[in-house]
Amino acid sequence: MTKVQVSLPDDAEDGLQAFIDDVDERLSSEEDTCQVVRDTLIDLFGDREAWERWQSGKPVSPATRVRLQGYDPCNATLEAEYYAEKDEAKFQRSKHLQWLWRQFDATPMADNVDFALRFRQMLANHLFEDAGDNLRIFKGVTFSYGHNITVGDNTVIHDDVHLDDRGKLTIGDRVSISDGVHIYTHAHDVVDQTEVRNYHTDIGDDVRLTYDAMVNAGNHVGENAIVGARAIVKSDVPAHHIVVGAPAKSVKVKPGFEDVAEPLEAGGERRVDDREIPYDLPEDRDTFDEFGRDIGGPVNPHRTE
pLDDT tens for 98-136 read 999 999 999 999 999 999 999 999 999 999 999 999 999
Distance (Å, rounded) from C-alpha 24 to C-alpha 151? 19
Q: What angle do helix axes 113-127 and 10-28 make, rounded to 10 degrees? A: 10
C-beta separation of 239 from 221 below 8 A: no
Handedness of CA 26, 87, 276, 232 (dihedral sign): negative
Class of domain 128-278: mainly beta
- Please, which residues bridge with residue 95 across strands? none
Residue pair 275/200 in contact by the 8 Å Cβ criterion: yes
| Phi (first) and psi of residue 137, to 5 degrees | -120, 120
Neighbours of 15 (CB within 10 A): 12
Which residue type does 32 have?
Answer: D
In which element (H, E) is residue 171 found? strand 168-171
| pLDDT of 1 | 61
What pLDDT does residue 229 have? 98
- How many Cβ atoms are within 10 Å of 3's Cβ, its own excluded? 5
Ranges for all domains in the chain classified under CATH 2.160.10.10: 128-278
Smallest CA-to-CA distance from 197 within 276, 305, 143, 280 is with 276
d(CA 3, CA 275): 38
Q: Kindly give the confidence (pLDDT) of every residue in the chain, 305 residues in length, as a single tens digit, with 9 standing for 90 and above.
A: 678 888 889 898 999 999 999 999 999 999 999 999 999 999 999 999 999 999 999 999 999 999 999 999 999 999 999 999 999 999 999 999 999 999 999 999 999 999 999 999 999 999 999 999 999 999 999 999 999 999 999 999 999 999 999 999 999 999 999 999 999 999 999 999 999 999 999 999 999 999 999 999 999 999 999 999 999 999 999 999 999 999 999 999 999 999 999 999 988 889 999 999 999 998 888 888 888 888 888 999 999 98
Question: Do 146 and 126 form a contact (C-beta atoms < 8 A)?
Answer: no
